[in-house]
Structure 1
């Protein structure tokens, strides 16, 4: 494989190296001193540097070295390199294979399935499933078998997997050159003003919360990112849109949409699991809670995928149905919107 062709955003991964739950009887103690007692061969200077870099989290929030731990705190150390050699254990996890031939396969990933090990998810991933169902898949530049690109754990939809070295090289080049085609369906908070538009803004890890990405419009940090969107349907407090990716950055759609004020519906990491638009009426809050229960994840689905076949050179396009949880949530909003419109007409 051409080592100059990179898997999409390998440098953005964070890996959990240490995890501790502070016991009930622990007295308040600076976190640097606390971790020195628990991490073999750790120096206070290294721990303080990790805290300065934003690598030490308490209850999922980055803390400084002078933070004092208290009973039941969950302390985690997250770093950009894996804590051990990448060993993939095959696991018999079923795959929804949309298409397969000698060169590649296209998978419809369900929500909740992590694509590859990381963030404490070292088993039960798509890569573990691929290792069980297929032998000798080629490795990408991040040593992950078969993966050409990825989608987030709680995003559903289409992924292409390479089965040969030649296919890996050819497909990865298309993603790098932006000749592949990807369309996502998203439900976002707010009434999107324009019927269509383009979001341009560099994306890099958030300066305060390394579990999030952020937009840097001045281009002084991060990587160039472009997302095109089009309104499909308006429901008043939320909007159904289509997003086409010109680039493929970590959390690109999620962070770009938040940047323009339209966070994904029920996107917990970016604040979409709160009521961002709407009324204060109790019935409305109950309606939103019901929507969240119906769709317990961010409202994002990778609906279509297109690329040139590495051997036949034919351009192939694939399309999937919107998954049931997202479909039901959209229908709830459609009915709610119609009901509101009818009430306004009567009044």
Structure 2
């Protein structure tokens, strides 16, 4: 599966592999030549290619192969895979499993849990838990160690995930993701009331040139990958709304970027600007109310609520639904109470 399986086969994150602080006495030298001497088995062509795809930074900034390094420059080299991805520590972390058989399992991931070990998050991840609880889980394509994973959801997004327990299930489920036959709906609490209340958001999603951690929407196919989100407003709550999002594609941060693109960022989504008051006058008792709502759900208000797919062996359609987690429900109820009190 080399295509666009949701957030799994995409190079959606960059992990730091090398950090080099240039010596005080270093003379001016092109960065590609400098790195050839510092990195074993790295050709100049490979280094230039890494620079071209923004994997090399100097003092936190993008650079060019012609840049001449200076004393005390900090050079970082980041790649799309964790530097220790073959070193996964099994951990006895409880899992909320809603379905399991010999081929697969469906679980409800809590908010705050990272799916795969990465720079800064080597422990406490879903993969660490899977390696502990289930032996001989299949790996992904090209030998990368991602036990059982055919898709991912963000650290601070909660909800349903399917995990493959056999190579056959891995291949079959990955094909369903690629062909967009997996049905996934998310519940999102957003700022503002979408108009129209039902619609489809499209565009090419790619990394922002200003912040590589953030995805943005382009109208140029060379800058991103095509993405489609269907949304439906479930409940209007004056300043916010409960929205259902149905994914047709599965790009990195797709819902978060799409909803910001149409002017309705997720409630308390710090990365996409939803962690400040975007509707209503941000003063007095209303400001205190919103601040308290932020405390109830200290993350983006996004939950993977339903998941449907064809079972790899039986070919039976399986459909799963999950309740909103307590933090999401508490914030939603607080907004409902505010609306009731104002009527």
Q: Deviations over 1:222-268 (max 9, x none)?
A: 11110000001111111110000000001000001111111111111
Q: CA RMSD in A?
A: 3.4
Larger mean CA deviation between 113-122 and 194-203 belongs to 113-122
Structure 2 residue aligned with 1:170: 172
Q: Compared with structure 1, are the counterparts of its residues 6 and 260 closer, same or farther at alpha carbon in structure 2 (3 Å cutoff)?
A: closer
| Contact 1:16 1:118 survives alignment (8 Å) | no
Q: Compared with structure 1, are the counterparts of its residues 193 and 128 closer, same or farther at alpha carbon in structure 2 (3 Å cutoff)?
A: same
Secondary structure of the corresponding residue to residue 12 of structure 1:
coil
CA distance in 2, matches of 1:19, 1:278: 45
Q: Compared with structure 1, are the counterparts of its residues 50 and 244 closer, same or farther at alpha carbon in structure 2 (3 Å cutoff)?
A: same
Secondary structure of the corresponding residue to residue 225 of structure 2:
coil
Structure 2 residue aligned with 1:53: 54
| Contact 1:167 1:310 survives alignment (8 Å) | yes
Structure 2 residue aligned with 1:183: 185
Q: Compared with structure 1, are the counterparts of its residues 76 and 114 closer, same or farther at alpha carbon in structure 2 (3 Å cutoff)?
A: farther
Q: Compared with structure 1, are the counterparts of its residues 77 and 140 closer, same or farther at alpha carbon in structure 2 (3 Å cutoff)?
A: same
1:276 aligns with 2:315: no
Q: Deviations over 1:280-307 (max 9, x none)?
A: 3221211111111100000000000000
Offset at residue 337 of structure 1 (A): 1.8
Offset at residue 209 of structure 1 (A): 1.0
Structure 1 residue aligned with 2:261: 259
Give the number of equivalent residue pairs. 328
| Contact 1:267 1:299 survives alignment (8 Å) | yes
CA distance in 2, matches of 1:280, 1:261: 18
CA distance in 1, matches of 2:231, 2:223: 24
- Unaligned 5+ runs, structure 2: none
Q: Compared with structure 1, are the counterparts of its residues 337 and 85 closer, same or farther at alpha carbon in structure 2 (3 Å cutoff)?
A: closer
Structure 2 residue aligned with 1:296: 298
Q: Compared with structure 1, are the counterparts of its residues 291 and 127 closer, same or farther at alpha carbon in structure 2 (3 Å cutoff)?
A: same
CA distance in 1, matches of 2:58, 2:331: 33
| Contact 1:51 1:63 survives alignment (8 Å) | no
CA distance in 2, matches of 1:75, 1:185: 41
Secondary structure of the corresponding residue to residue 168 of structure 1:
helix
Secondary structure of the corresponding residue to residue 332 of structure 1:
helix
Secondary structure of the corresponding residue to residue 215 of structure 1:
strand
Q: Deviations over 1:114-167 (max 9, x none)?
A: 011124212211001000000101112243110011100000000000011111
| Contact 2:85 2:117 survives alignment (8 Å) | no
Structure 1 residue aligned with 2:220: 218
TM-score between the two structures when normalised by the length of structure 1? 0.83
CA distance in 2, matches of 1:319, 1:152: 19
Secondary structure of the corresponding residue to residue 226 of structure 2:
coil
- Alignment equivalent of 2:6, drawn from 5, 8, 11: 8
Q: Compared with structure 1, are the counterparts of its residues 57 and 333 closer, same or farther at alpha carbon in structure 2 (3 Å cutoff)?
A: farther
Secondary structure of the corresponding residue to residue 38 of structure 2:
coil
| 1:34-53 correspondence to structure 2 within 5 Å | 41=38, 53=54
Structure 2 residue aligned with 1:140: 140
Q: Compared with structure 1, are the counterparts of its residues 75 and 185 closer, same or farther at alpha carbon in structure 2 (3 Å cutoff)?
A: farther
- Alignment equivalent of 2:239, drawn from 237, 244, 255: 237
Structure 2 residue aligned with 1:345: none
Offset at residue 51 of structure 1 (A): 10
Structure 2 residue aligned with 1:194: 196
- Unaligned 5+ runs, structure 1: 22-26, 343-347
Structure 2 residue aligned with 1:325: 327
CA distance in 2, matches of 1:337, 1:66: 59
Structure 1 residue aligned with 2:105: 105
CA distance in 2, matches of 1:69, 1:258: 41
